[in-house]
Amino acid sequence: METRTRKVLKISRKRLGIVFAVLILIFIFIMLSGRSPRYMIQNTLSKMSGSDSALMPQSASMPSVYPGQYESSSVKDTREFMKVAYGADIKTRDVKEVMKDVKSAINDADGRIDNINESARYAYVNFVVPKTNFNDFKDAIEDITHEKLITENTSSQNLLGQKQSIEERTKTASDLLSELERKQKDLNAKHGATVNAIQKELTDTRAELILVRAEISSTSDSSKLATLRNRELNLSQREIQLQQNLNSENSIYAASSGSLKNQISDVNLELAGIKKEDVSFTDNIETVSGYVSVNWVNLWEMSRLLSPVHPAIIVIIVLLLAWYYLTRKNYLPHIELT
């Protein structure tokens, strides 16, 4: 058999060192650049009635479910009002197809899409789904792609502090309403008694005045007539005074009663508002708010995610095996350092 003559390639040690250094730097760069560029989209949404629209998270970490609701509560109150938030980041070669599956999962869970943005390389959707359908929805999202291509984050927070605040404000308003209604009842009773007393005295005075005037018309005795005239004057003045008292009582009552009615109306409006807030609170904890982002990745990144070892290591091993084989067959020259 023909023996292949092996060539000799002379390389300086300095150049070889530079080549190895460059290769090591390239390998380190490949190892560190594990993620493909992510298209960050900032989108400010207007507040919708009843709730705040979610913003697209800028990272996989979940934000506070309900900011500002960290009030400490007594340990004796063991109730739980959990607000759940969900986030998922999916990597894929086909963003459009994956987003179609995500929207289908939201619809199947009887959810609502609040915000959506799609492009060829990146997409995200903000949504709300009923808590009762959340587990089925989560399973549907996980079934869309391989487990190594999805990152999920589920967080929950007990909004007991908010519930206690609603209950305390309800009790305060209810107690105030009861006090105002008691004052209104007492005012009505007092006004009724006062009016009845004045009205009775006014009626008696008028009846007596009629009798005196009748007697005046039938009396000719000057001495008795003078007495009757004086009595008539006193009764007339008393009638005027009683009528003024009655008018004053009615005026004071109308002002006081009107003030109490306005206060009662305000408290009833406050109670209605708190009740509406309580309904919104219940609706809030019975839903799961979240987002799903979808990122396009290249083949190298896809292989890095799915491979049990880094693809760069596999490439190096293949190159070493090829170099060993070609060296044994004398296809590669012998390297001589100078």
Using a cut of 0.95, tell me whether the model's pTM lies above it: no
Residue 87 has pLDDT above 50, yes or no: yes
pLDDT at position 58 over 50: no
Q: Angle 311-328/13-32 helices, nearest 10 degrees?
A: 150
pLDDT one-digit tens code per residue, 89-148: 999 888 999 999 999 999 999 999 999 999 989 999 999 999 999 999 999 999 998 888
CATH 1.10.490.10 for the 170-283 domain, yes or no: no
Measured between alpha carbons, how far is 177 from 183 in angstroms, rounded to an integer? 10
pLDDT digits (tens, 9 = 90+) for 297-308: 877 676 665 566
Report the candidate in 287, 294, 280 with the shortest Cα–Cα distance to residue 109.
287
Backbone angles phi, psi at 192, to 5 degrees: -60, -45
Phi-psi region of 68 (alpha: psi -120 to 50; beta: other; left: phi over 0): left
Residue, of 329 and 216, whose pLDDT is higher: 216
The pairing of beta strand 150-158 with beta strand 122-130: unpaired
- What would the DSSP string read from start to end of 248-284? HHHHHHHHHHHHHHHHHHHHHHHHHHHHHHHHHHHHH
Domain boundaries, the chain: 170-283
Q: What is the mean pLDDT of residues 160-177?
A: 95
Phi and psi of 189, rounded to 5°?
-65, -45
Q: Which residues pair with 334 in a beta bridge?
A: 8
Q: Which residues pair with 156 in a beta bridge?
A: 84
| The pLDDT of residue 27 | 64
Res 22: pLDDT: 74
pLDDT on residue 25: 76
Q: How far apart are CA 133 and CA 6, in angstroms?
A: 71
